[in-house]
Amino acid sequence: MLAKLFITLAHLSPGVKRFTWLRLYQYLARNYPTADWTFMNYGFQPGDKSETPVLDEEDECNRYFIQLYDYVATGANIEGKQVLEVGSGRGGGASYIKRYLHPMSMIGVDFSERAINFCRERHQMEGLSFTQGDAESLPFEDASFDTVVNVESSHCYGSMEKFVAEVYRVLRPKGYFLFADLRNRDTSEKLQAQLTSSGLQVLKKVDITDNVLSALDAYNEKKLALIQNMLSAAWFRKPFQEFAGAKGSQIYERFKDRTMVYHHYVLEKT
Ligand SMILES: C[S@@+](CC[C@H](N)C(=O)[O-])C[C@H]1O[C@@H](n2cnc3c(N)ncnc32)[C@H](O)[C@@H]1O
């Protein structure tokens, strides 16, 4: 289902694409206020297990999702820096970054007002805040951040070029853009052109599809059990398994046959 939606939306007008994804995330935030559910990404398993972060007991249940954030956000040193996350969802990633990687401040922005309300209640800590806003028109002054983080959100945007121009605008000179997201294989080259369209320089570029698949495999049983427990409406379980990339879902199979690729980039405003 998600794979079909993903392909269909990619070919629709930017306005329809933005509207459809927004409705979906607003729906999820309204109907599933479950406090324990704080991540909405496919996860990451490092090839070398010695590179897995040491986590507090309370964070172990989110290990694979955290590992994606850890891999992306350690693409630059963010200790003591001012960091913005665009598309922060249910806030688990922004909370992880603030608690473990110690930026001076961490702001999460998301289009979904309901997701922002959830985050404000769920993640209360000094130096971490959440603001409603659009990736294509960020509600911040020029040059106000050292680093922008963006995890599995950009496929929802109407215009990647507008988003990247906004990232460029809010970054300080020598600031970093730490990016990860999935794309159809045939639009992968276009992605690099979009990411560099405002003048950001590519420092690192990695295909992490295998790492994402490995996390989907490792977490599959737990995911199915959680979906079973969380969704009382049986009819919604199958579409939700598709959305969540469970084994056998179209998105999982498309990662396997590599018609869908998961990209990671580190870019710098030189
Ligand atoms: C798949 S979720 C990922 C959330 C989070 N990054 C994570 O990994 O858990 C995508 C998020 O992007 C947000 N989003 C979609 N379009 C957006 C836009 N134009 N501006 C800001 N956020 C947007 C959605 O509301 C959703 O919370």
Ligand 1 nearest atom to the CA of residue 41, by list position: 8
pLDDT at 3: 59
Q: Is the CB of 163 under 6 A from ligand 1?
A: no
pLDDT at 44: 98
CATH code linked to domain 20-207+258-268: 3.40.50.150
Q: Do 267 and 191 touch, CB atoms closer than 8 A?
A: no
Short-list 177, 165, 233, CA closest to 204 = 177
Q: Is the CB of 134 under 6 A from ligand 1?
A: yes
Most ligand 1 atoms within 8 A of CB, residue of 153, 154, 155, 163 to mutate = 153
Rounded distance from Cα 40 to ligand 1 centre (Å): 9
Tell me, rounded to whole angstroms, the distance of Cα 257 from its chain centroid.
Answer: 22
Q: Is the CB of 156 under 6 A from ligand 1?
A: yes
Q: Which amino acid is at 159?
A: S
Pairing of strands 82-86, 171-184: unpaired
pLDDT at 14: 77
pLDDT at 6: 64
**Host H or E run for residue 184:** strand 171-184
Q: Is the CB of 112 under 6 A from ligand 1?
A: yes
Q: Over the range 101-118, which residues count as b (16 or more CB within 10 Å of their CB) and which as e?
A: bebebbbbbbbbebbbeb
- Stretches where the chain sits below pLDDT 50 are 1
- Any idea where the domains of the chain sit in the sequence? 20-207+258-268
Pairing of strands 171-184, 260-268: antiparallel
pLDDT at 9: 61
pLDDT at 1: 42
In this structure, the residue with its CA closest to atom 26 of ligand 1 is: 89
Rounded distance from Cα 150 to ligand 1 centre (Å): 9
